[in-house]
Amino acid sequence: MQIGLAYGDVRGQRDLGVIAEQVRATSGTAWISQGPNLDALTTLALAGRGAGELGTAVVPFPQRHPLVLASHALTVQAATGNRLILGIGAGISRMVGGMYGLPTDRPARRLREYLEVLRPLLRGESVNHHGDTLTAVGSVAVEGAAAPPVLVAALGPAMLRVAGELADGTITWMTGPRTLTNHVVPSITKAADTPPRIVAGFAVCVTADEGAVRARFAKDFALAGQVPEYRAMLDREGVDGPADVLLVGDEDTIAKRLDQLRDTGITDLMLAPIGTAAEQARTTEFLATQHGHDRRAGPAGAR
């Protein structure tokens, strides 16, 4: 199981220069969430070339035509030495409809058509698609850019099936270990021809004041617990809200939680350190010791 770090809006970060510097310094996968502020793909392009992978988690696709997204993604590939993992998603329906006035019905159908167009475009192929939800005619060519792997933010059964059939894997957020084990991992694996990449995202804080951190997180992410897409996963997990799936506690507590998540069958963790500056620094320092490490079996037993 690989451990990567998340940056950007998910952590309330706004300084483009600071984020780019942190991304360049990340040895594992550096993930950028696409929020209402900084553009995730542009941020990764600014980070440039380095050692680790660069991922978006995720770019909502309804407001980005596949010809536009393919151009943007391949430009990032050229700028970064082909290190991009392109994570996309249907977006939160309340935002897609309320902010952009775009349709949110038939999300699985829209995702299927979008991937049927996007994947060939990323490979440099021409498309001539006139479908139920999408029209796309043309091609994109960026010299030196290879097609990036595509992961999909998929939670429900229909979306996981499409992700398994047409993408390289999935990315989840605030989805607990029970739901990963019993729903996400088996659903997408069954639909996929080859083993999918399964990235599970969590907020994390190494701290001596678990109660205070959990209370702040419950307040800051209260709205997320009401969003239907996340609410369904919290209900599957049997918890009340986002704070119940937060990874929080001292180093030993977090190490045990990481061991539990390794057993779910996921391939990657995307962890967003939260809390005070001191807590985030402590968290980041601890996570750097956990790459490829399984406390029960030693480094050779890591999956």
> pTM of this prediction?
0.93
**Inter-axis angle of helices 157-166 and 107-122, nearest 10:** 20
Ramachandran class of 97: left when φ > 0, alpha when ψ lies in -120 to 50, beta otherwise: alpha
**Which is higher by pLDDT, 37 or 278?**
278
Supply the pLDDT for residue 300.
31
Ramachandran class of 125: left when φ > 0, alpha when ψ lies in -120 to 50, beta otherwise: beta
Of the pLDDT bands very low, low, confident and very high (cuts 50, 70, 90), residue 100 is confident
Q: What is the pLDDT of residues 238-269, one digit of tens each?
A: 999 999 999 999 999 999 999 999 999 999 99
Domains of the chain and any CATH numbers: 1-153 (3.20.20.30), 169-303 (3.20.20.30)
Over residues 57-64, the mean pLDDT reads 96
- Residues 6 or more apart whose CB falls under 8 angstroms from that of 162 comprise 108, 111, 112, 115, 152, 154, 191
Q: What is the pLDDT of residues 133-165, one digit of tens each?
A: 999 999 999 999 999 999 999 999 999 999 999
Cβ-based neighbour number of residue 299 at 10 Å: 9
- Residues 6 or more apart whose CB falls under 8 angstroms from that of 204 comprise 246, 247, 248, 254, 271, 272, 273, 274, 283, 287
Q: What is the pLDDT of residues 188-208, one digit of tens each?
A: 999 999 999 999 999 999 999
**Which is higher by pLDDT, 299 or 32?**
32
> Is pLDDT above 90 for 182?
yes
Please give the mean pLDDT across all residues of the chain.
Answer: 92
Of the pLDDT bands very low, low, confident and very high (cuts 50, 70, 90), residue 64 is very high
> Is pLDDT above 60 for 120?
yes
> Is pLDDT above 60 for 301?
no
Of the pLDDT bands very low, low, confident and very high (cuts 50, 70, 90), residue 51 is confident
Of the pLDDT bands very low, low, confident and very high (cuts 50, 70, 90), residue 291 is low
Distance CA 45, CA 23 (A): 11
- CA distances in angstroms from 11 to 45, 150, 211, 225, listed in the order given: 20, 23, 19, 17
> Is pLDDT above 90 for 95?
no
Report CA 88 to chain centroid distance, whole Å.
Answer: 8
Give the percent of the chain with pLDDT over 90.
81
DSSP conformation letters of the chain: -EEEEEEEGGGT---HHHHHHHHHH-SS-EEEE--SSS-HHHHHHHH-S-SS-EEES-EESTTS-HHHHHHHHHHHHHHHTS-EEEEEE---HHHHHHHH----S-HHHHHHHHHHHHHHHHTT--EEEE-SS-EEEE----TTPPPPPEEEE--SHHHHHHHHHHSSEEEEES--HHHIIIIIHHHHHHH-SSPPEEEEEEEEEE-S-HHHHHHHHHHHTTTGGGSHHHHHHHHHHT-SSGGGG-EEESHHHHHHHHHHHHTTT-SEEEEEE-SSHHHHHHHHHHHTT-TT--TTT-GGG--
Of the pLDDT bands very low, low, confident and very high (cuts 50, 70, 90), residue 295 is very low
Give the percent of the chain with pLDDT over 70.
96
Contact 107, 160 (CB under 8 A): no
- Residues 6 or more apart whose CB falls under 8 angstroms from that of 276 comprise none
> Is pLDDT above 70 for 217?
yes
